[in-house]
Amino acid sequence: MTVGRVALLVGVAVLVLVANVAASILYMVVYGHVIDPGHDPQYYKDHIQIAGPYCSIVAGIPLMFFAGWWVAGWWRRALGVRAAWIVLLAYTVIDLAILLAVGMSIGVGLLFVVSFATKLVAVHFGARLRIARPAEPDAAADGGGEWQ
């Protein structure tokens, strides 16, 4: 795997991180305007500190599944699962670095392990689903793609 390919996969990991943060923001907008409106801003800041890790788990499963499925189709089949694991590794390193920088508690550390485990399963199954698909028939083999 070349440095350029790894850089693309790290980019996908960053996209998943951004999408996961966006999901948490969307949750807080819905929570603050629909579910429990009318509180001061500190109430919502305290709430996202508790809800954020759970949002990461819930939103991260489909995001990482899709990322695994997506990158597994970029290159030949042998690299499919490996590419998905590189996305997960990059995501985990970045996420862990952020958590360590802001000071991770034991509770958040346990949620990080759960989050990592669910994302591991999701990215792996996404990649396996993509590479398990039967190959598309060659256009030349079926009459150039014309209706017959």
Cα separation, 30 vs 122, in Å, equals: 26
Mean pLDDT for the stretch of residues 139-147 = 42
pLDDT digits over 51-73, tens only? 999 999 999 999 999 999 999 98
pLDDT reading at 147 higher than 70: no
State the average pLDDT over residues 36-41.
92
Supply the pLDDT for residue 134. Answer: 53
CB 56 within 8 A of CB 116: no
Asked if residue 28 lies in contact with residue 48, where contact means CB atoms within 8 angstroms, the answer is yes
Q: Can you give the pLDDT at residue 19?
A: 97
What is the per-residue pLDDT across 68-122, written as a single tens digit (0 to 9) for each? 999 998 887 778 899 999 999 999 999 999 999 988 889 888 999 999 999 999 9
Give the model's pLDDT for residue 92: 96
Predicted TM-score of the model (pTM):
0.83
Helices marked H in 31-105: 41-72, 80-102
Per-residue CA distances from 146 to 73, 139, 141, 142 (Å)? 25, 9, 11, 8
d(CA 126, CA 12): 14
Q: How confident is the model at residue 127 (pLDDT cuts 50, 70, 90)?
A: very high
**Distance between CA atoms of 18 and 88, rounded to whole angstroms?**
14
Backbone angles phi and psi of 131, in degrees to 5: -80, -15
Report the C-alpha gap between 4 and 13 in whole angstroms.
14
* pLDDT score recorded for residue 105: 86
Residue 89, number of CB atoms within 10 A of its CB: 15
Q: Compute the distance between CA of residue 115 and CA of residue 94 in angstroms, rounded to an integer.
A: 14
